[in-house]
Every structure is written in C-alpha cells, then in structure tokens.
A and B are shown apart, each in its own frame.
Chain A
C-alpha cells in the first residue's frame, strides 16, 4: 500500500497528437451528451426541492411543480422558521456537530500520530485492533444495551462519543503522518523538544491540510447523522434537525399509506425543512470540495 501526499490532478485531460478517427469523434459527442444528462439528472431532485419550497401547496397537489416554482411565495419559509422546535433542533445539530468533531479530532490525531511512529513497540498490534473494528462491530443491539447501561440515554454523549473514531479517517491521517519528513522531527528532538512538543509545535502546524480535511469529513458526517439521536433521544427538545425532518416525513407517509390526503404534512413544508437542513452543506460545499478529494487521495490505494 503506497500512499502519496501529493494530490493527483483529477481534472487532468488527455490530449492526443494523432488525429481522431471519425468513430471516436462521434463517441465524443455521445459521451459529452450523456455526461450532461447525468449531471442534469443528478441536479434535478435539488432543483425540484427548491421549486416546491417556494410553491403554494395547491400547485404541488395538482402535480404542476417541476423545475420552476408555481404560485411563488415565501410564507412557507416564514411558517417553518417560526416553529420554535425547529430552531431548537437546529441549534442542537450545531452543538452536537461541534462537540462531536472536537472529540473526534482530539482522539484521531493523537492516535494516528502514535500509530505513525515506527519506534512504537506493538505498533502492528495497535493498528490491528483498530482496523479489526472496521470489519466486525458489535451490532445494533449490544451497542444499544451498552449505551443505555452507561446512562447515556437522552444525553449529548450518546451522540458524540460512540462514533468518535472513524477508522477510515484514522488510516488517512496515519499515512499522512508517516510521510512527514523525519528530519524535522529529529532536528526538533535534538533541540530538546519532547514528543509532546514535536507533536504540538512542529507536526500539527504543518498538517493544516489534513486536519482541515478530517474536520470536514467528521463535521459532515455528524451534521447528517440522525439514527444515533433517533435511538437514544426520546425528548423532542433534544432532537437534531435531521430527526425533526424524519418525523415530518414519517407523519406524511403514514397518512399517505392509510389513503388519506387531508391530514398530510404539506409537501412544501417538507421541502422548506429539507432546504434549510442542507443549506449549510450546500453553501460550504464549493469551498471544501478539493479538501474532500485530497483527503480521499491521501489514503488512496495505489497498485
């Protein structure tokens, strides 16, 4: 498993010196068309969601909202935003995400750094017990019983601790630290820095890229998490916004499967809640995309 710290350029395009055959030129046209279609199909659900969020319910029920809002209004936004529970749950999501990311980063960086040092006796063993959990976890029920036995039910700990270390992220970080120039650390040691000093004053400041990547990986996964909260929180004021949304959808589907249309949670209310939930991610997404790519690359396997 060879790893690289240099991010390969995924946008590299191959050019050719020989003129293409006619068949290949036709292929180019077909290929480009297909890719445009794929991109359009990928974006469509998002566009449809935004269109519904700004439409009035009558047009949605009549099945007339696809790409552009019909009966444009922003009252649904005002209605959803005036729900106190929604904001409380939104705040919970922010708090859970921040706390969980801090805990996860503290554990992952120290663990990854220790595992990256070859002088650590038992290194292979420690890596082994970490990687083993990737392939075999306790399963739903034993985990559930453990969290309850620890008294984590209805506390923030049920959400921020059980998933604190993602082994995948740990391995990415470990390979980054392994590629860290040894001379720097050795020079620092000669200058009298302890392991703590080397880690805190040399290694961490020079690992900003990988740290940023990991923070993003963790933050997005905690932001999107709903199942942990769904299992361990039974008070609605502790829900993250994802569970709030899940309950909206569940209310809508249960009435629909009973064949009643009247009691349904309005589709535009659902749409607005979804838009507000994904908004932060969509806003930062363009800026963080390259970090995600380089993060995956850092741990990427090359033949």
Chain B
C-alpha cells in the first residue's frame, strides 16, 4: 500500500507523521525504502531509461571513434587508438574549411534575418482588431510548418525552375530568366527565403502567448501618461516579451551549426557546393557516402562541441545581461 507523501517544496520538510523505521535523520526515507515503496512508479522509468541509454547515450560514447580506427564489422567503438590523427586530417582539409565557412554564413544569415521576423509578425498580428481576420492569418501562416521537408524542397524546386513562377515574374518585368538551382550565387537567397516561408508563422505562437500575458492596466497607465501607440509598443509590449525572446534566441544559437541539413541535402547539387555545402552535408557525404566513419565522426564532434559552447555562452551572457536564461 503506497502511502502518498508529496513534499511540495523543500524536501527537508518531512510530512508530519513522526519518525518511522528506516528514515534517515533528515526525515526522508532512505533510497532503498523509496524504491521499495514506489516500485510501481520506478517501473515506469525502466523502458524510457533503457531507451535513452541505448539510443542517446551509446551514440554519444560512440564519438570515441573520432580518436580510434574503425573497422567495418568491428566494434562500434573502434578497434585501436590513433589519437588526434583524424582531427589533424580534417583541419588540413581545404574542403572542410569551405564547408565550415558556408555553415557560419548560412547560420548567421538565419539568425540575423529569420530570427527577428516572428517577433515583427506577432507585433503586427497584435494590432489587428478583427478576430476573424487575425485567426485567418494565423491559420495560414502555421500551415507550412506541418509540411514535410521533402514537400518544401519540391515546392522550392518547382517555383525556382526555369519555367516556374519566379522566372515568369522576372520575364514579365522584362528580365532574363535565372537558373536558380544551377547558380551558386543564388543559393543563399533561395535557402533563406524558404526558411522564412516555413518557420516564421509557427514562430509567432510563443510570442503571441507572451503578448496575452501582458497586463492591460500597463497600457491603460501609459495612455494616461500620454504615450501613443509606438511608445506603448516600445516601453510595454517589447519588455513584456523579452524573456521569451531571450529563451528562443538561446535555443536558436544552439541550432546555429546545424543549419537546415535535410533541406540542403534535398536541394543542393554539385553545382551549388561552393555556397550550399555545409558541415552536416559534407560529413554525410564523407561518412555515409564514402564510409570514412572515423573521419566524419571527428568533424561531427567538432561541430557538436561548437554548438554546445555556443549555447552555454549565450545562456551565460543572457543571464548576466537580461536576467532570463534556460537554466
């Protein structure tokens, strides 16, 4: 019979039952007794923990093959130590530096252009007075988020093709048709545009939620003080959604290195490599395509470490500067 004791706040607050056998001095039951008492609850944990151990933590440990030689059919943790051999190899690989640069450029463009847009769209929606119209725009703008990346790639290919809608518009305005998907100079524009189309609408949700929590009395007070619409937006609305902005910014910075890998994989072709090839696609080709597992794991590990470093620093800076952080 499970006695339900739920210490609400500090665990040191023992339920007022008086000391029982098997309790430690601070009033908490020993670990053994907890497990014995709540074994049914712990049984819920078994499968998920096994899952995490096998499918999340084993691959993490598997990164060890960045420093070990991997033999096909051998252990997934490699066979013999080779030290920093693979690290040196990719640091001396000119292609690696090309894809590294491309990753930084696409990542920065995404952060600078795509990240602020949901905030602007949410503020625009916030000024709409007609319920029906607001709901309609929201419904439409969420839709692309639910499309498979393959569909998005298909649409991009169709719209940018020589006889596609974009080229028809160019011709109607008297220009020459552009073969977008064979011209490396255009890829970043195409990529960022499709990113905007797919993510901005859905990105407004959290901001709209934050906007609903702003107290109307603040606006009331600002109006009495003579603040117009713009001042109200600047001094009340924006500070109101700042915590949400910061949290999403930190999360976005964490995604910085992992630029839309699947989308690029579907869209690019050798003609676009000079601008479209990023770390993730390069390691896919080298690893899965050519079977250089250790080499591509070394690259992947490097990428992941940069990602984690970015999140941790962004979080630390944000906590210091704005007081909002993930942890």
Q: When each residue 183-219 of chain B gets 1 if its CB lies under 8 Å from chain A and 0 otherwise, what string results? A: 0000000000000010001000110111011001001
Smallest beta-carbon distance B154→chain A, Å: 5
Cβ-Cβ contact count across A and B, 8 Å cutoff: 320
Closest chain A residue, CB of each to CB of B138: A10
Contact present for B41 and A117 (CB under 8 Å): yes
Contact present for B137 and A195 (CB under 8 Å): no
Q: In the complex where A141-B300, A302-B213 touch, is A31 in contact with B41 (Cβ < 8 A)?
A: no
Smallest beta-carbon distance A107→chain B, Å: 5
Smallest beta-carbon distance A71→chain B, Å: 14
Query: B303: which A residues are within 8 A, CB to CB?
Result: 139
Contact present for A136 and B147 (CB under 8 Å): no
Query: B41: which A residues are within 8 A, CB to CB?
Result: 114, 117, 119-120, 195
Q: Does A237 contact B (CB under 8 A)?
A: no
Contact present for B4 and A189 (CB under 8 Å): yes
Query: B210: which A residues are within 8 A, CB to CB?
Result: 300, 302-303
Contact present for B48 and A285 (CB under 8 Å): no
B49, B59, B61, B129 — most chain A CB neighbours (10 Å): B59
Q: Interface residues of B, CB < 8 Å — how many? A: 120
Q: Does B125 contact A (CB under 8 A)?
A: yes
Q: Does A271 contact B (CB under 8 A)?
A: yes
Q: Is the interface of A mostly helix, strand, loop or mixed?
A: helix
Q: In the complex where A107-B51, A118-B8 touch, is A137 in contact with B45 (Cβ < 8 A)?
A: no
Contact present for B140 and A43 (CB under 8 Å): yes
Q: Which of A20-28, A77-85, A207-215 contacts B (4 or more CB under 8 A)?
A: A20-28
Contact present for B38 and A195 (CB under 8 Å): yes
Q: Is the interface of B mostly helix, strand, loop or mixed?
A: helix
Contact present for A196 and B40 (CB under 8 Å): yes
Q: Which of B98-106, B108-116, B282-290 contacts A (4 or more CB under 8 A)?
A: B282-290
Q: Does B89 contact A (CB under 8 A)?
A: no
Q: Interface residues of A, CB < 8 Å — how many? A: 114
Smallest beta-carbon distance A301→chain B, Å: 5
Q: In the complex where A145-B293, A146-B76, A271-B158 touch, is A165 in contact with B48 (Cβ < 8 A)?
A: yes
Contacting A at CB under 8 A, from B22-81, are 31, 34-35, 38, 40-42, 44-45, 47-49, 51-52, 54-63, 65, 70, 76
Q: How far is the CA of A119 from the CA of B44 in the complex (A)?
A: 14
Q: How far is the CA of A224 from the CA of B127 in the complex (A)?
A: 34
Contacting A at CB under 8 A, from B120-169, are 121, 124-131, 133-144, 146-151, 153-155, 157-159, 161-165, 167-168
Contact present for A61 and B163 (CB under 8 Å): yes
Contacting A at CB under 8 A, from B255-283, are 262, 265-266, 269-271, 280, 283
Beyond contacts A42-B141, A139-B63: 16 other A-B pairs, Cβ-Cβ < 8 A, are: A11-B134, A32-B128, A35-B137, A38-B141, A39-B140, A52-B158, A63-B168, A107-B48, A139-B59, A139-B304, A140-B280, A141-B62, A194-B40, A224-B147, A246-B150, A302-B213
What are 26 A-B contacts defined by CB distance under 8 Å?
A10-B138, A10-B209, A14-B219, A39-B136, A45-B197, A63-B168, A119-B7, A120-B42, A121-B34, A135-B308, A139-B63, A140-B287, A140-B288, A142-B62, A142-B63, A143-B62, A145-B65, A231-B288, A242-B148, A253-B157, A281-B147, A297-B209, A300-B209, A301-B243, A303-B210, A303-B213
Task: Report, nearest first, the 6 A-B pairs whose CB atoms are least far apart.
Answer: A138-B59, A142-B62, A224-B148, A63-B163, A303-B243, A111-B48
